[in-house]
Amino acid sequence: MNKLNMFKRIGVVSVLCLAAATASAQSDTVRIVVSFNPGGPVDFVARVLGEQLGKELDRQVVVVNRPGANGTIGAMDVARSAPDGSSLWITSVGAAAINPSLYSNLPYDTQRDFVPISVVVNNVELLVANENDPANDAAEFVAAARASARPTPMASSGIGSIPHLAIEQFADASGAEFMHVPYSGAAPAITDLMGGQVSGFFGDVAGLFGHVKSGRLKALGIAADERHPLLPEVRTLAEQGIEGVDTINWYALFAPAGTPAETVAALNKAVTAALETPAVRDRLSASGADPAPSTPEALAAILARDTAKWAALIQAKGIKAE
């Protein structure tokens, strides 16, 4: 064998060995893809979960942010990934169960293109008002809205978002008239609420708790069946005679369709163990989120239920994404 052919063979073998080593390294890493920017609530939950999940799986877990197109970019990243448990999608209810009815040309279908792993956390929606608002609770807020000559302006984090849909349910449940003012995210909506440009806002307790405790915002009511442990003095809307506002903003973990059942079962076991670790539970609970591991079957049922529920409301209200 001449030297040229020998070097060619060595080069081919080296490339094959490098490819094999790379593939092995990749298989030892699990990506949790977040469809939103770093520093947001979904990203926070993903990083708290990911740290302990890596220990449970004895694999490296990395959080990767793929923001854009209201969750679509991150969803498609995972949907197109190998169904081997190495790429997971963590998402809020919006991208999973609301987008399919909000966008007519959505390139993914959560129930078709993904398999459920587990619910990660539940987030309760809290109705808040400006600190100077005369209302002391949701009932007084509704009474003032009914007495107003004009619709009461309420902010949301965007068209079709959970805060928007909460406003629609709130209007139906209370009989008051509200004007929906959409923003590009919760942060600018909260800023304008503090500034008095709008009168009310529904948002996750996790994102509002600090503002309530500082006195910058006034907590009026909890949109859930029970009071929140961080705000035990705040009555539920139902306790105030306002029934039918059902807006739990869950975050859940999904894998690409075709992921083997044994892989799903192993991931579910690891996620459950991670969320039941006291340090993880305490950190998530302190933020206002409620750790809520589930079976894959339970998540599938929740996804189907909420997809149908939000589709009915979106159709009834004629809500269209811009």
Q: Under DSSP, is residue 243 helix (H, G, I), strand (E, B) or coil? A: coil
Residue whose C-alpha is closest to residue 180's, from 157, 204, 146:
157
Q: Rounded to whole angstroms, how far apart are CA atoms 176 and 42?
A: 32
pLDDT value of position 27: 59
Sequence ranges of the domains in the chain: 7-123+249-317, 125-240
pLDDT value of position 28: 85
Residue by residue, DSSP assigns 91-148 as: EEHIIIIIHHHH-TT-S--HHHHEEEEEEEEE--EEEEEETT-S-SSHHHHHHHHHH-
Mean pLDDT across 140-149: 97
Residue by residue, DSSP assigns 152-180 as: EEEEESSTTSHHHHHHHHHHHHH---EEE
Is residue 42 within 8 Å of residue 36, measured between CB atoms?
yes
Same fold? 7-123+249-317, 125-240? yes
pLDDT value of position 11: 38
Residue 262, Cα to own-chain centre: how many angstroms? 26
Give pLDDT tens digits for 161-177.
Answer: 999 999 999 999 999 99
pLDDT value of position 6: 34
CATH number of 125-240: 3.40.190.10
* Residue 214 pLDDT level (bands cut at 50, 70, 90): very high
Q: Rounded to whole angstroms, how far apart are CA atoms 288 and 219?
A: 14
Give pLDDT tens digits for 63-89.
Answer: 999 999 889 999 999 999 999 999 999
For residue 322, is pLDDT > 90?
Answer: no
Q: How many CB atoms lie within 10 A of CB 58?
A: 8
Report the range of poorest mean pLDDT among 11-20, 130-139, 140-149.
11-20
Report the range of poorest mean pLDDT among 3-17, 30-44, 280-294.
3-17
For CA atoms 132, 217, 123, 201, give the dihedral sign: positive
pLDDT value of position 134: 97
3-state secondary structure 86-105: CEEEEEEHHHHHHHHHHCCC
Is residue 234 within 8 Å of residue 227, measured between CB atoms?
yes
Give pLDDT tens digits for 286-320.
Answer: 999 999 999 999 999 999 999 999 999 999 999 98
For residue 24, is pLDDT > 90?
Answer: no
pLDDT value of position 315: 96
For residue 97, is pLDDT > 70?
Answer: yes
pLDDT value of position 67: 92
pLDDT value of position 321: 86
Residue 220: phi, psi to the nearest 5? -110, -30
7-123+249-317: CATH homologous superfamily?
Bordetella uptake gene, domain 1 (3.40.190.150)
For residue 17, is pLDDT > 50?
Answer: no
Q: How many CB atoms lie within 10 A of CB 187?
A: 12
Mean of the per-residue pLDDT values of the chain? 91
Percent share of the chain, pLDDT over 90 = 87
Is residue 9 within 8 Å of residue 39, measured between CB atoms?
no
In sequence order, the 6+-apart residues with CB closer than 8 A to the CB of 114 are: 78, 79, 89, 108, 254, 255, 256, 257
Residue whose C-alpha is closest to residue 220's, from 166, 165, 292:
166
